[in-house]
A and B are shown apart, each in its own frame.
Chain A
Amino acid sequence: MCPRRHLRLRTQWWLILFATSLLVTLMTVDRTAERFDNAIYDHLLQLAPSPRSDAILLVEIDDESIGRLGRWPWNRSVHAALIDRLNAAGAKAIGYDVLFTEPAGEEDDERLARAIAGASPVFLPALPSGALNEGGAGSAILPIDRFRDAAAGIGVATIAPDPDGVVRGAAASHGAPGRPGHLMAEMARSLPHSGHVPSDARLIPFGGGEGRWPEVSAAAILAGQVPAALIEGKIVLVGVTAPGLGSRYATPTGGVMTGLEIQAYLLQGLRSNAMMTRAGLTACLVIALLPLCMLMMGLGPFRRLPALACLGLCSALVLGASVCALMLLRVWLPPSAALTGLALAYPVWGWRQLAAAERFMRAQLERLEEEPALVPRTAFIRREGGVAYTISLLRNAIARNREMRHFVAGRLDQLPDATIVADLAGTILLTNLAARRLFADQPEALAETAGLGPILNRCRVTGSGDMLRFCPGMAPPSACEVQFDQGRYFLFGMAPQTSTDGAHVGWVVRFVDISEAKAAQKQRDDVVQLLTHDMRSPQASILAVLETAPADRIAPQESRSIRYYAERTLQLADGFVQLARAENLEYALEETDLGDMLMDAIDDLWPQSRAKSIDIVTQAEERLVATVERSLMTRALVNVIGNAIKYSEEGTTITCSLSSQVRGDGVLCAVYAIQDQGPGIAPALRQTIFERFRRGPVGLGPRESGAGLGLNFAHTVMVRHHGRIECRSETGHGATFLLQLPLIVD
């Protein structure tokens, strides 16, 4: 990806992080997702155990009581009787949730006041007038003075459902001095062993499960049907539950409860210090924003996990934090805003990434499309936007790739030599027709994904018989001649393959069939062998016979003729063998002084030159050294100088000079110039003088022996040394042979 696009993607990352954070903050402050949070909260509460306690007894003024004692409101003497009964049974405390805010008959009030002032502390409710908002201090309507004096505590007993109609917490009651607190809070505070009652914890710990509080009907108590043991030592809550009179409320744990039951939960929560708090705004923001940042980090700069796992982890973290806080710290952290942030950031970031990837891919594919193709284009695509365009580009690129593979395989098949393409580890990628034909007996060795090993193991290096070996990462076997088990010969080569940026990516293995060339070479070697040994030996024997024969047994004239012909046959054989050597031998090059070489050649010809009294003058001013095959080069000089001697008149001079000069193509060359004073060479002959079996015209020189291979040999040797041989001559004015030899051969 190019840096510019990378930067753009990074900018998008920051934008997404900022926007989702803003949204999450707004949601947290605004409590937009409170319904969702409430649903989660309700479910979580159902998981919690029910906080039931046998310390609380509910006394219900239910339908049965109304039916048995008369219609509501009852006469206060009935209430007094009920409280007296409870006092007599030894109740620990009594929360009497019935309003006595206006005086009734004097006698009844007096009786009730006496009952309230009885053994058990009695707590009475007050009626908050108007809205229950802050600052409504003193606006509660309290019980009449007589009862207020007799009661152990006065409190507001309001139940305030949340906006969705479900009761989750006690009504706000704290903070205003002089205004009564909640009735249950008053009771909890005044009872022993109730621990610290947090003033701001307002969420009631409703529990899951089926349980209800132990409850008895008020009528049953008044009728004396309830044993005192059931009441003794209990906190008794008295309230109206008759369907026609008391309200019923929805609760988080599902189901509907009477106000009295809710009061019991609240009291128990307060007593056991199990009330829960809604977390503050700061905590909410932290729990909402932190996972979001973590997700964005995990998706962007600090990618360690798969994106989905990252999302799952962050969501689990949010929920886990929420559950743990609620269960362990009794603090409610609403998770919805955080979850919404996560759920939003994940797809948006994914979408932006996909878009960037698609844009990049399209740009690359367009560039690829514009590059010249080896394979003819099958379809042209109209430039436009959209995914469909990218898809058609991609389809085209894939088609071209397939075509290219087909093209490569096709061209490879057309190669005459067995060729195998392998990767760096030696795994075969491609083979051509010739290779498949060559290894037809073991097709499994050529299968793609097979290694080169089995194939190389079949090759034996000619001569040593070693097996070819190839280890990935090591230098490959160098080019060499190998023999197959079926007796065929191949030139084996392994060439490195590079990618477009020059990195080494694989190998091309090639087997060039040289069986025929090998056979021809063998034949030639046999001929040379024949000439060297088998044909020479009889000639040498003839000469030996002539040498050893007694002089009186063979006429001198015939002896000379036989000797001459035997020697010529030998020379002919020698010439042939030397020519074959010059053409086929692998040259063993060594640094040689060119002046020494000239001297060797002249010394070698000393018998011939002395026989004709020919003076050979040497002119070599400087010492020149070149890398040559010394024996062949000396023989070439011998041949050229020998030729000069052969065609020169007796008593003449041959000048041999050695100098250096720069050739036309800028290469520094040593030049041997062999100049004679012989008859010269006609221009027509000069053209062909270096061909095989060419000799000077018969009769020019005296009875010359020679096979006509000498100059051809010299020519072959010079060419193989990257040199040149030429002849300058005018008929009647002698001839000059120039042998050029590069001094530095790369």
Chain B
Amino acid sequence: MALAGLVEMALVDAGHTCEVFGEGQFLVRALHRSTYDVLILDWNVPGLTGLEVISWIKANLDVAPPSLMLTSRSAEEDIVAGLTAGADDYVIKPVAPAVLKARVNALARRAYPTALSGFEQYGRYRFDTRAETVELSGEGIALTAKEFALALLLFRNMHRALARAYIFEAVWGRNPNLPTRTLDVHISNVRTKLNLRPDNGVKLVPIYSYGYRLEALAS
């Protein structure tokens, strides 16, 4: 419960309202009554596990709120299982408050998107969505159309785990004939061309057997 206290403190600190449930059953009961913007689920709780709660939500709620799971880094199989079951993202224990805030914000943003202007600024990167050009620290970088779409998708979903299937559909549309390697090659190109490295304040994290996530590093 010390962990729950930490999570609550971090979220309240970030300006969110937060409710803590000691057991999965209590959460399920509460979901009958009220709606929540984001669910944060510990994978190992007494009563109902996080996986079971996710399944229940998928089966019973019309509009499922985005969910974030807390898991131990050691069990990568658990991460894959959770994401496959329907969790939207995960945070590895021990929880760093900054990371938690960034992920929760990313989930809330994705779920409730805001209107966008022609120019989008992410740290040192500036995207012109009309001209489809990118600038890094004021210098223009040449990208193909697909690479630009991919890069914009990653930046718009900062801190959010993107499934391979989702990226595929968003960038290439429903085209099942592409080899899976295509995505990796494009990611690799975007990473090299835009130099998506910690030195530029961002980090591209592969989520094994699932997809990718772009993270902004705290300066």
A contact residues vs B (CB 8 Å cutoff): 531-533, 536-537, 539-545, 547-548, 567, 570, 573-574, 577-578, 581, 588, 590-593, 595-596, 599-600, 603, 606, 610, 630-631, 634
Point out the residues of chain B lying under 8 angstroms from A531, CB to CB. 74
**Which listed residue, B2, B197, B206, touches A541 by the CB 8 Å rule?**
B2
A630 lies within 8 A of B206 (CB): yes
Point out the residues of chain B lying under 8 angstroms from A573, CB to CB. 74
Point out the residues of chain A lying under 8 angstroms from B94, CB to CB. 539-540, 543-544, 567, 570
B5 lies within 8 A of A631 (CB): no
User: B97 interface residue, CB < 8 Å from A?
Assistant: yes
**Which listed residue, B6, B74, B188, touches A593 by the CB 8 Å rule?**
B188
Point out the residues of chain A lying under 8 angstroms from B73, CB to CB. 574
- From A635, which residue of chain B is reached at the shortest CB distance? B76
Residues 9-59 of B at the A interface (beta carbon under 8 Å)? 9, 44
Bound: A593/B186 CA distance, A: 11
B75 lies within 8 A of A544 (CB): no
A606 lies within 8 A of B5 (CB): no
Point out the residues of chain B lying under 8 angstroms from A578, CB to CB. 74
Point out the residues of chain A lying under 8 angstroms from B197, CB to CB. 599, 603, 606
The 7 tightest CB contacts between A and B, nearest first, are: A606-B198, A544-B6, A577-B74, A541-B2, A631-B208, A544-B2, A543-B94
Point out the residues of chain B lying under 8 angstroms from A595, CB to CB. 188
- Per DSSP, are chain B's interface residues mostly helix, strand or loop, or mixed? mixed
Residues 182-206 of B at the A interface (beta carbon under 8 Å)? 184-185, 187-188, 191, 197-198, 203-206
Given A544-B95, A603-B204, decide whether A591 and B75 contact each other with a Cβ distance below 8 A.
Answer: no
In the assembled complex, how far is the CB of residue B151 from the closest CB belonging to chain A, in whole angstroms? 16
A533 lies within 8 A of B44 (CB): yes
Point out the residues of chain B lying under 8 angstroms from A631, CB to CB. 76, 208
Point out the residues of chain B lying under 8 angstroms from A603, CB to CB. 197-198, 203-205
User: B110 interface residue, CB < 8 Å from A?
Assistant: no
A630 lies within 8 A of B208 (CB): yes
B203 lies within 8 A of A606 (CB): yes
- Listed by A's residue number, 27 A-B pairs whose Cβ atoms lie within 8 Å are A536-B74, A537-B3, A540-B93, A541-B2, A542-B2, A543-B94, A544-B5, A544-B6, A544-B94, A548-B5, A548-B9, A570-B94, A573-B74, A577-B75, A578-B74, A581-B74, A596-B187, A596-B188, A596-B191, A599-B197, A600-B206, A603-B197, A603-B198, A606-B197, A606-B198, A630-B208, A634-B206
Bound: A602/B84 CA distance, A: 28
B72 lies within 8 A of A533 (CB): yes
Contact with A along B81-97 (1 / 0, CB 8 A): 00000000000011101
B contact residues vs A (CB 8 Å cutoff): 1-3, 5-6, 9, 44, 72-76, 93-95, 97, 181, 184-185, 187-188, 191, 197-198, 203-206, 208-209, 217
Bound: A465/B3 CA distance, A: 39
Point out the residues of chain B lying under 8 angstroms from A570, CB to CB. 94
B205 lies within 8 A of A600 (CB): yes
Point out the residues of chain A lying under 8 angstroms from B6, CB to CB. 544-545, 547-548
A544 lies within 8 A of B3 (CB): yes
A588 lies within 8 A of B2 (CB): no
Point out the residues of chain A lying under 8 angstroms from B206, CB to CB. 596, 600, 630, 634
In the assembled complex, how far is the CB of residue B191 from the closest CB belonging to chain A, in whole angstroms? 7
B203 lies within 8 A of A532 (CB): no
B95 lies within 8 A of A540 (CB): yes
Point out the residues of chain B lying under 8 angstroms from A542, CB to CB. 2
From B3, B5, B74, B208, residue with most partner A Cβ within 10 Å: B74
In the assembled complex, how far is the CB of residue B91 from the closest CB belonging to chain A, in whole angstroms? 11
Known contacts A606-B197, A606-B217; 6 further A-B pairs (Cβ under 8 A)? A540-B93, A543-B94, A545-B5, A548-B6, A548-B9, A591-B184
Point out the residues of chain A lying under 8 angstroms from B93, CB to CB. 536-537, 540
In the assembled complex, how far is the CB of residue B137 from the closest CB belonging to chain A, in whole angstroms? 18
A540 lies within 8 A of B3 (CB): yes
Point out the residues of chain A lying under 8 angstroms from B198, CB to CB. 603, 606, 610
Point out the residues of chain A lying under 8 angstroms from B205, CB to CB. 600, 603
Bound: A539/B94 CA distance, A: 8
A596 lies within 8 A of B184 (CB): yes
Bound: A471/B93 CA distance, A: 51
Point out the residues of chain A lying under 8 angstroms from B185, CB to CB. 593
Bound: A364/B74 CA distance, A: 69
Bound: A533/B93 CA distance, A: 10
From A548, A570, A600, A606, residue with most partner B Cβ within 10 Å: A548
Point out the residues of chain B lying under 8 angstroms from A533, CB to CB. 44, 72
Point out the residues of chain A lying under 8 angstroms from B2, CB to CB. 541-542, 544-545, 548
In the assembled complex, how far is the CB of residue B115 from the closest CB belonging to chain A, in whole angstroms? 32
- From B206, which residue of chain A is reached at the shortest CB distance? A600
Bound: A514/B37 CA distance, A: 50
Bound: A537/B204 CA distance, A: 28
In the assembled complex, how far is the CB of residue A710 from the closest CB belonging to chain B, in whole angstroms? 14
Point out the residues of chain B lying under 8 angstroms from A541, CB to CB. 1-3
Point out the residues of chain B lying under 8 angstroms from A593, CB to CB. 184-185, 188
Point out the residues of chain A lying under 8 angstroms from B1, CB to CB. 541
- From A576, which residue of chain B is reached at the shortest CB distance? B74
Point out the residues of chain B lying under 8 angstroms from A536, CB to CB. 72, 74, 93
Point out the residues of chain A lying under 8 angstroms from B203, CB to CB. 603, 606
In the assembled complex, how far is the CB of residue A566 from the closest CB belonging to chain B, in whole angstroms? 8
Point out the residues of chain A lying under 8 angstroms from B188, CB to CB. 593, 595-596
From A544, A573, A590, A610, residue with most partner B Cβ within 10 Å: A544
In the assembled complex, how far is the CB of residue B92 from the closest CB belonging to chain A, in whole angstroms? 10
**Which listed residue, B75, B181, B184, B217, touches A532 by the CB 8 Å rule?**
B75
- From B42, which residue of chain A is reached at the shortest CB distance? A537
Bound: A545/B197 CA distance, A: 33
In the assembled complex, how far is the CB of residue A590 from the closest CB belonging to chain B, in whole angstroms? 8
Point out the residues of chain A lying under 8 angstroms from B44, CB to CB. 533, 537
Bound: A600/B205 CA distance, A: 7
Bound: A588/B77 CA distance, A: 11
Bound: A540/B191 CA distance, A: 33
Given A596-B184, A610-B198, decide whether A588 and B3 contact each other with a Cβ distance below 8 A.
Answer: no
In the assembled complex, how far is the CB of residue A632 from the closest CB belonging to chain B, in whole angstroms? 9
Bound: A600/B213 CA distance, A: 12
- From B184, which residue of chain A is reached at the shortest CB distance? A593
In the assembled complex, how far is the CB of residue A504 from the closest CB belonging to chain B, in whole angstroms? 37
Bound: A542/B1 CA distance, A: 11
Bound: A427/B119 CA distance, A: 76
In the assembled complex, how far is the CB of residue A586 from the closest CB belonging to chain B, in whole angstroms? 10
Point out the residues of chain B lying under 8 angstroms from A567, CB to CB. 94
Bound: A540/B93 CA distance, A: 7
Bound: A570/B93 CA distance, A: 10
- From A567, which residue of chain B is reached at the shortest CB distance? B94
Bound: A634/B209 CA distance, A: 13
In the assembled complex, how far is the CB of residue B213 from the closest CB belonging to chain A, in whole angstroms? 12
In the assembled complex, how far is the CB of residue B5 from the closest CB belonging to chain A, in whole angstroms? 5
- From B197, which residue of chain A is reached at the shortest CB distance? A603
- From B79, which residue of chain A is reached at the shortest CB distance? A631
**Which listed residue, A545, A547, A592, touches B97 by the CB 8 Å rule?**
A547
Bound: A400/B164 CA distance, A: 66
In the assembled complex, how far is the CB of residue A321 from the closest CB belonging to chain B, in whole angstroms? 82
In the assembled complex, how far is the CB of residue B74 from the closest CB belonging to chain A, in whole angstroms? 4
Point out the residues of chain A lying under 8 angstroms from B209, CB to CB. 588, 590
Bound: A539/B75 CA distance, A: 16
In the assembled complex, how far is the CB of residue B46 from the closest CB belonging to chain A, in whole angstroms? 12
Point out the residues of chain B lying under 8 angstroms from A532, CB to CB. 72, 74-75
